[in-house]
Amino acid sequence: MSTLLADRIAAQHASTLAALPPQLAGGARRRAAMAALATAGLPGARDENWKYANLRPLERQSFTPAPLNPGAAAAAAPAELPQRLPGFARDVFRDGNFAPALSDPLEAGPARILPLAVFESGSPPAPAHAGRDQRFALLNAAFATDGASIAVPATAAGPARIELLFVASAAAEAGASYPRVELRLEPEARLTLIERHLGVSDGASFVASAVAAELDRGAALEHYRLQELGARAILFDSLSATLGADARYHLRAIGSGALAARSSIQVRLAGERAGLAFAAASLGDRQQLQDTYAAVEHLAPNTRTEETFRGIAAGRARIAFNGRMVVAREARGADSRQSLRGLLAGADAEIDVRPQLEIYTDEVSASHGATAGKLDEQMLFYLLARGLDRETAQRALKWAFLGDVVARIEPPQLRQQIETRLAAQMLGGSTFREFL
């Protein structure tokens, strides 16, 4: 990071601090985060693991949180939000601020959802293990205006279901937006969480979001992340999760929005037999950039990972997925599987899928595959030989390609919403399914 940028962030932080909600542990956390950021700096273009990210917007961005503009409330009318999903509580945040009028937290079940702004103290500390690739999470912690803190106790009554909608409506000139989620699943607790980032205008918003999750022994989290920001938005997203023994984390991420989106993910399998199933899809068209860096650390015996990535780059889009797997010496019996595939759907598009393995024990079972290429010629010919026109056939195959990820979205209404969106965005509306 240039010292210029560092100084500017520090100065903006200092002048904003007084105006930020003090409740985030009395501002102590903010100062700590800011100090850590000043030491570590934001990533630069030469940083390992950041070469695909577009860091240029940082140079001119104001990091001061976008002011709560009551006039913009109309810009996020309920009608513009995705339909409510039955059985899910909904909390809506606009430009990082809780929007009670658009929310309905009643159905959360056993979970306690608290907007961070009303937290007095004792909110979970920023993860101590966050690595260098989580530095945007520090930026978020330093400036966050609000967010959701969710604590889930164990219960026999089935999983808690919560949908968090983060709506970006402010233009970048107005400042940045800092969505924040802190999750804590107590032993054996279960939660289905939908985290959705969307834009209600085509305005260029700057969003730096952060999610920190702790899964205690035997807890199970099913986490859907949908990035549907507007066509000019810039996103830096950080997700860190730590899993205790026997915890299970199902993470499904679909990114199709924003002009440039970078997602930095760190999952620590810290307890024995902890398991991660991560399926992600990135779709890019025009000049879009979708860059994901996912670091998974196997730190305990018999931990498991199954990672699936499917990316489609059309137009002049660039898509990158860097899947790093670390199997520590202690992680005897670890099982790590990776299937990363990229599809080039435009002559000027670019795609880079990269598995990165670091294994420090012999007792590991690992299978890793990464391919990037064009549509399967045999499949294409089969469809053409049945009379489908080339464009329809190609779209059908793109759809098939995404199936490995989309099919894992379990809540039926959510899957339907996602399919409809993806189909409209890149497939001319068809979902390539008919029923008798």
Partner 1 sequence: MSGTPLLTIHDLTVSVGGKQILTGLNLAVATGEVHAIMGPNGSGKSTLAHVLAGRPGYEVTSGNIVYQGRDLLALAPEERARQGLFLGFQYPVEIPGVNNVYLLKAALNAQRKERGLPEVDAFEFLALVREKMKLMQIEDSFLSRGVNEGFSGGEKKRNEILQMLVLEPTLAVLDETDSGLDIDALKVVAAGVNSLRSPARSCLLVTHYQRLLEYVVPDFVHVLVRGRIARSGDRGLALELERRGYDWVSGAAA
**399 touching partner 1, by CB under 8 A:** yes
Among 19, 35, 407, 424, binds partner 1 (CB under 8 A): 407
> Can you spell out the DSSP letters for 279-306?
EEEEEE-TT-EEEEEEEEEE-STT-EEE
- Region of 74-82, 249-257, 292-300, 372-380 interacting with partner 1 (CB under 8 A): 372-380
C-alpha–C-alpha distance, residues 364 and 302, integer Å: 9
What are the tokens at 400? 């098939």
C-alpha–C-alpha distance, residues 69 and 63, integer Å: 17
**433 touching partner 1, by CB under 8 A:** yes
- Region of 74-82, 232-240, 352-360, 385-393 interacting with partner 1 (CB under 8 A): 385-393
**122 touching partner 1, by CB under 8 A:** no
Among 132, 382, 412, 420, binds partner 1 (CB under 8 A): 382
**18 touching partner 1, by CB under 8 A:** no
Phi, psi of 392 (to 5 degrees): -65, -40
Helix or strand run (H / E) with residue 344: strand 334-344
Binding mask 332-371 for partner 1 (x = CB under 8 A): ----------------------------------------
Closer to partner 1 by CB, 360 or 381: give it.
381
Task: Give the angle 278-202-230 at the CA atoms, nearest 5°.
Answer: 0
Asked whether the beta carbons of 339 and 356 are under 8 A apart, the reply is: no
C-alpha–C-alpha distance, residues 364 and 346, integer Å: 38
**386 touching partner 1, by CB under 8 A:** yes
- Tallying the residues shown for the chain, one arrives at 436
Asked whether the beta carbons of 87 and 160 are under 8 A apart, the reply is: no
**400 touching partner 1, by CB under 8 A:** yes
Among 156, 157, 429, 434, binds partner 1 (CB under 8 A): 434
Give me the least distance between CB of 347 and partner 1, in Å please: 18
Give me the least distance between CB of 409 and partner 1, in Å please: 13
Neighbours of 342 (CB within 10 A): 25
The contact set with partner 1 (CB under 8 A) reads 376-379, 381-390, 392-393, 396-397, 399-404, 407, 432-436
